[in-house]
C-alpha cells in the first residue's frame, strides 16, 4: 500500500531537481552566448582599429548631407573606371 | 554730448580705389560734417577719387605711416567733437552716423564707440561667419551695450568713433598693428567707457588670397602680442580640435546660407586650409620676436622685421579677449565628474540579481572588470591584465569597462584602448567598452580602483561585486574629498581581493570588510638570471617621481650620502621618462621594456625600490634576477617578504638607507644570502598562482552572496 504524502514529496523533489538542472543549463547557455557576443565585439574592435584611431564614425559621416554627393561622385568615378577597363579588355587581344 | 555734435571722419588710404568711391558716397549720404583722407603713397586712383569727391586730402610718405601715429595726426587735423575712423574698404550702412550719435548720448564718460562689420556678398564663408558670430557675442538682444573696465577691451578702427576729449587724453600708441586694441584697453583703464552699437554697421571684409591671409594673420597676432600681450596658444591636439570645430562651423553656416553642395565642398576645402594656416601663422606671429629677422620678413605681409618700439612686455596690460562662441548654440548642461559618486551616496548600490545555487562552482564565469584609464607602464594595470589574461585562458569570459569621468583618455576610442592593452601589457581577448552604455550584466563585476567602485555599484544584472585592491588609495591624496571617498569604498560591502597581507588586514580589521589575499606574480620568462657579468658598484634605483609614494626624494638623498662615501658609485635610474635633478652623476635608463629591465637587474649590484604604501612589483622582479633589493620597513613589504627575508628593509631615514645599501655593496656573504633567498622566494610566485588565488576569491564572493541571499529569503543554504 502506497502513502500519498511520500509520493508527493518525491515528485516535488524530482521537480526541484529538474528545475535546478534546467536553471544550470540555461545559465551555461547564457555564458556561452555572452562569450560569443564578447568574442564578436572583440573581433570587430580589432577590425575597426584604424577607424577608432582616426575617430571616424562612418555611419555618422554617411548621415551628413554631403555624403550623398560624395557617394554619387565615387559611383561615377567607379563606372568610368569600369567602362575604361571593359574597353581595355576588348581592345587587348 | 549734444545731438548736433560736429562729426569728422578720418580715412587712412593706400591703393584703396576699389571701395573708396562707394565709401565716400555713403558718408555723403550720412551727412558727416568733415572727411579727411590721408593717403600714404597710393599708386592707383585713390587720390583722384578723393579729390573729385571734394574731401580734404592729406598726403604722407609711406615710411611715415603708422596705424597709431597717422590716426593721431588725422585727429589733430580735423575739428569735429566726434572723430570717426574708417578703413578704405569699410562702407557705412544707412543709419551708421545716427547710431554713433546715439551711442555717445548713453553716458557722460563715453569715450569711444564701435559697430559691427557686415560681410559683403562676395566675402568668403569663413570670414563672413566669423564676423557675424563674433559681433553677435557683444549683444544678446540687439541693443547697444556699454562696456566698462573689466569688460572686453575689443575696439576696431575699421569702424570706430571717439570723442575728442578722450582722444586728447589717450592717444593711439605708435605700434604697427592693433593700436585700436591697445587704445580700448587704455581708455577703459583710464575710466572711460565705450559702447558697442549694432546700428553703426559697415560693410567690410578683407579679400586676400590664401597666402596673403596667412601673412596678414602673422602681422595681426604679432601686433596683438606687442599691444595687449596676447599670445596665441599652440598645440597639435588643440590645434586639430580647433580647426575641426571651425571647419564644422563653416560647413554648418554654409548649409544655413543655402550654399549648393558643390560650393560647400569647394569652400570646405578652402576653410580647412584657411583655418589650419591661421593656426600656424597666428601662433608664429605671437612669437615673432623669437624668430630670426629673415624669417619674420618672409612671413610678414609687410615684408619687414619690425620690432615694436613701445608696448614692450613690461607695460603690456593683461586683457580678456571676448569669447568667440557662436550665439546660436546654448551652453550644454552636463553631469559633473562626480555624478556617479553622488548617485551611489544618495541612492545606495543597485540590488544584486538573485543568486543561482551552484553558480560559484560553475566552470565558466562572466567577469566584468571596471578599470580606470591608464598609460603604458602602469604597474596596477599590469596586475589587472595579467590576471584577466589567465582567467580567460581558464575559460572565463571577461570584458573591460573603462571608467573615465574626467575624460583623461577621451580621445582614445575602444578599439584603440584594446590594442594598447594588447601591445603594452598582455594579449587579452576581452572587448573594451568606454562608459557603461552597452552594459549587459555579469556574474561578478570587479572594481579595480577606488573611483571604479562607485560605477560598479550602479551596474545591474550582477551576482557579486569584488574589489581588486592593489593599494591603500586614500593615502594617495592630501586631506580632500577624494581621500574620504576612497576610504568610503572600503565600507561598501565589496568582496576584497587584496594585493598583500597588510592590505587585507587594513580592509578586514580597520574597515570591516571581507576579503582575501593574492600574491603578485612574476613573469619568469622575462625576469630570470641572464648571462651577463654582474657589477659590484651599481645601484639600480626605481625613481618614478610622478608617484609620490615611491619616496624618490628620500632615495636621492640616500644615494647622495652614499656617493659622498663612495665617489666611484655607479647609479642607474629607471621608471621616469625625463632625467631627474640629482647632486651626483647617474645613468638615466628611462621607461624601459621588461626585457631591458631584466638585463639591467642582472647587471646591477643592489636594487633600490621604496614603497610607502603597498609594495611594488619591482622588488620581486629584481629578486627574480638575483638582485638583492632595499625597501622601507613599516609598511607592506614586511608583511610580504618578512622582517629578515630576501629584501633588506630600512628605516625611513637617509643615513640608515645609505647604510643598508652600502652593507649590501660591501658584505658579499649578506649579498649572496639575500640574492639566493630572493630567487627562492619568487620561484613560487607566478601569475598562474596569483590567478588561482584570485579565481578562488571570485568564487568565494559568489558563494558569500549565495549564502546571504539564501539566508535573506529564509532558506537554509
Q: What is the DSSP string of B544-564?
A: -TTSGGG-HHHHHHHHHHHHH
The lowest-confidence range among B443-457, B521-535, B632-646 is: B632-646
Instruction: Look at residue B336 in the predicted model and tell me its pLDDT.
Output: 67
SS (H, E, C) B663-689: HHHHCHHHHHHHHHHHHHHHHCCEHHH
pTM of the prediction? Answer: 0.58
Which of B265, B365, B415 has the CB atom closest to A49's CB atom? B415
Contact B460, B352 (CB under 8 A): no
- Using the beta-carbon criterion (under 8 Å), do B415 and A69 form an inter-chain contact? no
Mean of the pLDDT values across residues B704-717?
76
- Label residue A8 by pLDDT band (50, 70, 90): confident
- Using the beta-carbon criterion (under 8 Å), do B362 and A27 form an inter-chain contact? yes
- Label residue B2 by pLDDT band (50, 70, 90): low
- Label residue B714 by pLDDT band (50, 70, 90): low
Looking at the complex, does the CB of residue B431 fall below 8 Å from at least one CB of chain A?
yes
Test mutation, A19, A31, A53, chain B, max B CBs within 10 A:
A31
- Using the beta-carbon criterion (under 8 Å), do A31 and B397 form an inter-chain contact? yes
- Using the beta-carbon criterion (under 8 Å), do B397 and A53 form an inter-chain contact? no
- Using the beta-carbon criterion (under 8 Å), do B356 and A23 form an inter-chain contact? yes
Alpha-carbon gap, residue B339 to B453, rounded angstroms: 13
Which of B268, B359, B431 has the CB atom closest to A42's CB atom? B431
Q: Shortest CA distance to B250 belongs to which of B259, B239, B241?
A: B259
Whether pLDDT at A1 is above 50: no
Mean of the pLDDT values across residues B622-651?
90
Closest CA of chain B from A25, distance in Å: 11
Q: Shortest CA distance to B148 belongs to which of B105, B196, B201?
A: B196
Q: How large is the C-alpha radius of gyration of chain A?
A: 31
Sheet order of strands, B91-92 included: B91-92, B202-203, B117-118
Which of B264, B397, B411 has the CB atom closest to A34's CB atom? B397
Our measurement of the distance from residue B283's CA atom to the centroid of its chain's CA atoms, rounded to an integer in Å, reads 18
Q: Shortest CA distance to B68 belongs to which of B183, B155, B192, B189?
A: B183
Q: What residues of chain A lie within 8 A of the CB of B398, using their CB?
A: 38
Three-class secondary structure of residue B452 per DSSP: helix
Q: Which pLDDT tens digit goes with each residue over B282-316? A: 888 888 877 877 788 788 876 654 444 333 333 33
Give the nearest chain B residue to A67 (CA atoms). B261
Three-class secondary structure of residue B30 per DSSP: helix
Alpha-carbon gap, residue B155 to B160, rounded angstroms: 7
Instruction: Look at residue A79 in the predicted model and tell me its pLDDT.
Output: 93
Q: What is the DSSP string of B122-185?
A: TS-HHHHHHHHHHHHTT-SSSS-EEE-BTB-----TTEEEEEHHHHHHSPPP--SS-HHHHHHH
Strand bridging mode B538-542 / B570-574? parallel
Contact B112, B166 (CB under 8 A): yes
Instruction: Look at residue B5 in the predicted model and tell me its pLDDT.
Output: 85
**Grid coordinates standing for B58?**
592729406
Mean of the pLDDT values across residues B176-201?
86
The lowest-confidence range among B78-87, B204-213, B461-470 is: B204-213
Test mutation, B255, B411, B415, chain A, max A CBs within 10 A:
B415
Instruction: Look at residue B190 in the predicted model and tell me its pLDDT.
Output: 85
Looking at the complex, does the CB of residue A6 fall below 8 Å from at least one CB of chain B?
no
Closest CA of chain B from A16, distance in Å: 12
Mean of the pLDDT values across residues B486-514?
95
Q: Give percent of chain B above pLDDT 90.
A: 51
- Using the beta-carbon criterion (under 8 Å), do B261 and A69 form an inter-chain contact? yes
Q: Provide the mean pLDDT of chain B.
A: 87
Mean of the pLDDT values across residues B454-481?
94
Identify which has the larger pLDDT, B289 or B562: B562
Q: What residues of chain B lie within 8 A of the CB of A38, using their CB?
A: 397-399, 429-431
Looking at the complex, does the CB of residue B356 fall below 8 Å from at least one CB of chain A?
yes
SS (H, E, C) B373-435: CCCCCCHHHHHHHHHHHHHHHCCCEEEEEECCCCCCCCCCCHHHHHHHHHHHCCCCCCCEEEC
Between positions 20 and 79 of A, the ones with CB within 8 A of B are 20, 23-24, 27-28, 31, 34-35, 37-39, 41-42, 45-46, 48-49, 51-53, 55, 65-66, 69
Alpha-carbon gap, residue B1 to B101, rounded angstroms: 8
Task: Count Cα atoms within 13 angstroms, Cβ side, for B243.
Answer: 20
Q: What residues of chain A lie within 8 A of the CB of B440, using their CB?
A: 34, 37
Q: Which pLDDT tens digit goes with each residue over B371-413? A: 999 987 788 999 999 999 999 999 999 999 999 988 888 888 9
Our measurement of the distance from residue B692's CA atom to the centroid of its chain's CA atoms, rounded to an integer in Å, reads 41
- Using the beta-carbon criterion (under 8 Å), do B364 and A31 form an inter-chain contact? yes
- Label residue A4 by pLDDT band (50, 70, 90): low
Give the nearest chain B residue to A17 (CA atoms). B357
- Using the beta-carbon criterion (under 8 Å), do A66 and B264 form an inter-chain contact? yes
Q: Which pLDDT tens digit goes with each residue over B124-161? A: 888 888 888 888 888 877 888 888 887 888 888 999 99
Instruction: Look at residue B179 in the predicted model and tell me its pLDDT.
Output: 84
Whether pLDDT at B327 is above 60: no
Alpha-carbon gap, residue B144 to B196, rounded angstroms: 6
End-to-end CA distance of chain B: 92
Instruction: Look at residue B315 in the predicted model and tell me its pLDDT.
Output: 35
Instruction: Look at residue B335 in the predicted model and tell me its pLDDT.
Output: 56
- Using the beta-carbon criterion (under 8 Å), do A69 and B265 form an inter-chain contact? yes
Q: Give percent of chain B above pLDDT 70.
A: 93
The lowest-confidence range among A71-85, B106-120, B278-292, B347-361 is: B278-292
Q: Which pLDDT tens digit goes with each residue over B215-248? A: 888 888 887 777 667 778 878 888 888 888 888 8
- Label residue A66 by pLDDT band (50, 70, 90): confident
Whether pLDDT at B431 is above 70: yes
Closest CA of chain A from B688, distance in Å: 22
Alpha-carbon gap, residue B388 to B303, rounded angstroms: 63
Looking at the complex, does the CB of residue B156 fall below 8 Å from at least one CB of chain A?
no
Looking at the complex, does the CB of residue A4 fall below 8 Å from at least one CB of chain B?
no
- Label residue B328 by pLDDT band (50, 70, 90): very low
Whether pLDDT at B460 is above 70: yes
Looking at the complex, does the CB of residue B255 fall below 8 Å from at least one CB of chain A?
yes
Beta bridge partners of residue B412, listed in sequence order: none
Dump strand ranges (E) for A1-93: none
Looking at the complex, does the CB of residue B357 fall below 8 Å from at least one CB of chain A?
yes
Identify which has the larger pLDDT, B640 or B710: B640
Contact B255, A65 (CB under 8 A): yes
Instruction: Look at residue B309 in the predicted model and tell me its pLDDT.
Output: 39
Q: What residues of chain A lie within 8 A of the CB of B255, using their CB?
A: 65
Q: Shortest CA distance to B103 belongs to which of B112, B95, B94, B116?
A: B112
Highest mean pLDDT: which range of A88-92, B55-59, B334-338, B516-520: B516-520
Our measurement of the distance from residue B337's CA atom to the centroid of its chain's CA atoms, rounded to an integer in Å, reads 16
End-to-end CA distance of chain A: 98
Q: Which pLDDT tens digit goes with each residue over B56-71? A: 998 888 888 888 888 9
Burial class (CB in 10 A: 0-12, 13-18, 19+), B628: buried
Closest CA of chain B from A26, distance in Å: 11
Q: How far is CA B666 from CA B528, B558, B623, B661, B673, in A?
A: 24, 16, 18, 9, 13
Amino acid at each position: 500500500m502506497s502513502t500519498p504524502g511520500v509520493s508527493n514529496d518525491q515528485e516535488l523533489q524530482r521537480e526541484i531537481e529538474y528545475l535546478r538542472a534546467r536553471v544550470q543549463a540555461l545559465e551555461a547557455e547564457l555564458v556561452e552566448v555572452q562569450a560569443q557576443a564578447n568574442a564578436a565585439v572583440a573581433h570587430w574592435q580589432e577590425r575597426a582599429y584604424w577607424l577608432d584611431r582616426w575617430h571616424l564614425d562612418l555611419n555618422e559621416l554617411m548621415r551628413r548631407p554631403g555624403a550623398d554627393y560624395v557617394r554619387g561622385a565615387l559611383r561615377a568615378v567607379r563606372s568610368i573606371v569600369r567602362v575604361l577597363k571593359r574597353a581595355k579588355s576588348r581592345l587587348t587581344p | 554730448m549734444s545731438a548736433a555734435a560736429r562729426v569728422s571722419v578720418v580715412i587712412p588710404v593706400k591703393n584703396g580705389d576699389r571701395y573708396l568711391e562707394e565709401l565716400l558716397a555713403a558718408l555723403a549720404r550720412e551727412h558727416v560734417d568733415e572727411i579727411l583722407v590721408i593717403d600714404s603713397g597710393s599708386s592707383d586712383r585713390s587720390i583722384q577719387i578723393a579729390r573729385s569727391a571734394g574731401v580734404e586730402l592729406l598726403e604722407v610718405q609711406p615710411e611715415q605711416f603708422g596705424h597709431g601715429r597717422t590716426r593721431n595726426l588725422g585727429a589733430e587735423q580735423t575739428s569735429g567733437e566726434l572723430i570717426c575712423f574708417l578703413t578704405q574698404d569699410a562702407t557705412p550702412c544707412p543709419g551708421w552716423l545716427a547710431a554713433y550719435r546715439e551711442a555717445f548720448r548713453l553716458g557722460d564718460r563715453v569715450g569711444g564707440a564701435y559697430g559691427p562689420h557686415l560681410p559683403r556678398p562676395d566675402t568668403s564663408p569663413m570670414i563672413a561667419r566669423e564676423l557675424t558670430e563674433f559681433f553677435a557675442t557683444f549683444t544678446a538682444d540687439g541693443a547697444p551695450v556699454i562696456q566698462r573696465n573689466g569688460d572686453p577691451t575689443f575696439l576696431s578702427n575699421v569702424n570706430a568713433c571717439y570723442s575728442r576729449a578722450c582722444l586728447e587724453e589717450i592717444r593711439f600708441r605708435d605700434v604697427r598693428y592693433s593700436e585700436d586694441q591697445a587704445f580700448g584697453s587704455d581708455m577703459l583703464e583710464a575710466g572711460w567707457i565705450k559702447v558697442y552699437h549694432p546700428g553703426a554697421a559697415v560693410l567690410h571684409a578683407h579679400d586676400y588670397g590664401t597666402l596673403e591671409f596667412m601673412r596678414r594673420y602673422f602681422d595681426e597676432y604679432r601686433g596683438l602680442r606687442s599691444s595687449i600681450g596676447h599670445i596665441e596658444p599652440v598645440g597639435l591636439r588643440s590645434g586639430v580640435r580647433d580647426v575641426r570645430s571651425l571647419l564644422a562651423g563653416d560647413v554648418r553656416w554654409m548649409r544655413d546660407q543655402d550654399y549648393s553642395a558643390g560650393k560647400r565642398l569647394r569652400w570646405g576645402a578652402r576653410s580647412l586650409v584657411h583655418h589650419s594656416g591661421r593656426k600656424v601663422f597666428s601662433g608664429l606671429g605671437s612669437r615673432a620676436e623669437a624668430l630670426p629677422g629673415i624669417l619674420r620678413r618672409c612671413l610678414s605681409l609687410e615684408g619687414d622685421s619690425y620690432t615694436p618700439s613701445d608696448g614692450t612686455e613690461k607695460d603690456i596690460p593683461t586683457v580678456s579677449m571676448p569669447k568667440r562662441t557662436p550665439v546660436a548654440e546654448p551652453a550644454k548642461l552636463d553631469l559633473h565628474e562626480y555624478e556617479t559618486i553622488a548617485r551611489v551616496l544618495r541612492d545606495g548600490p543597485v540590488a544584486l540579481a538573485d543568486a543561482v545555487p551552484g553558480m560559484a562552482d560553475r566552470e565558466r564565469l562572466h567577469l566584468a572588470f571596471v578599470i580606470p584609464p591608464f598609460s603604458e607602464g602602469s604597474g596596477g594595470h599590469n596586475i589587472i591584465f595579467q590576471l584577466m589574461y589567465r582567467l580567460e585562458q581558464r575559460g572565463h569570459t571577461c570584458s573591460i569597462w573603462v571608467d573615465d569621468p574626467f575624460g583623461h583618455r577621451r580621445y582614445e576610442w575602444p578599439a584603440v584602448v584594446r590594442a594598447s592593452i594588447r601591445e603594452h601589457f598582455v594579449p587579452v581577448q576581452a572587448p573594451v567598452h568606454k562608459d557603461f552604455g552597452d552594459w549587459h550584466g555579469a556574474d561578478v563585476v570587479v572594481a579595480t580602483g577606488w573611483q571604479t567602485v562607485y560605477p560598479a555599484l550602479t551596474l545591474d544584472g550582477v551576482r557579486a561585486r569584488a574589489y581588486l585592491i592593489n593599494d591603500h588609495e586614500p593615502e594617495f591624496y592630501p586631506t580632500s574629498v577624494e581621500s574620504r571617498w576612497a576610504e568610503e569604498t572600503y565600507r561598501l560591502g565589496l568582496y576584497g581581493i587584496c594585493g598583500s597581507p597588510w592590505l587585507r588586514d587594513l580592509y578586514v580589521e580597520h574597515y570591516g570588510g571581507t576579503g582575501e589575499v593574492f600574491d603578485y606574480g612574476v613573469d619568469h620568462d622575462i625576469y630570470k638570471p641572464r648571462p651577463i657579468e654582474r657589477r659590484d658598484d651599481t645601484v639600480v634605483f626605481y625613481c618614478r617621481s610622478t608617484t609620490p609614494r615611491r619616496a624618490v626624494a628620500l632615495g636621492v638623498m640616500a644615494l647622495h650620502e652614499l656617493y659622498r662615501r663612495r665617489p666611484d658609485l655607479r647609479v642607474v635610474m629607471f621608471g621616469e621618462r625625463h632625467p631627474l635633478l640629482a647632486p651626483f652623476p647617474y645613468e638615466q635608463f628611462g621607461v624601459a621594456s621588461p626585457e631591458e629591465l631584466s638585463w639591467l637587474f642582472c647587471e646591477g649590484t643592489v636594487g633600490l625600490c621604496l614603497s610607502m604604501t603597498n609594495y611594488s612589483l619591482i622588488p620581486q622582479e629584481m629578486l627574480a634576477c638575483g638582485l638583492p633589493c632595499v625597501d622601507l620597513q613599516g609598511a607592506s613589504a614586511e608583511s610580504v617578504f618578512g622582517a629578515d627575508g630576501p629584501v633588506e628593509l630600512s628605516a625611513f631615514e637617509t643615513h640608515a638607507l645609505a647604510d643598508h645599501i652600502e652593507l649590501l655593496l660591501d658584505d658579499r656573504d649578506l649579498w649572496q644570502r639575500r640574492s639566493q633567498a630572493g630567487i627562492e622566494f619568487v620561484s613560487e610566485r607566478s601569475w598562474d598562482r596569483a590567478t588561482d588565488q584570485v579565481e578562488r576569491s571570485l568564487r568565494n564572493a559568489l558563494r558569500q552572496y549565495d549564502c546571504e541571499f539564501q539566508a535573506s529569503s529564509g532558506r537554509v543554504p
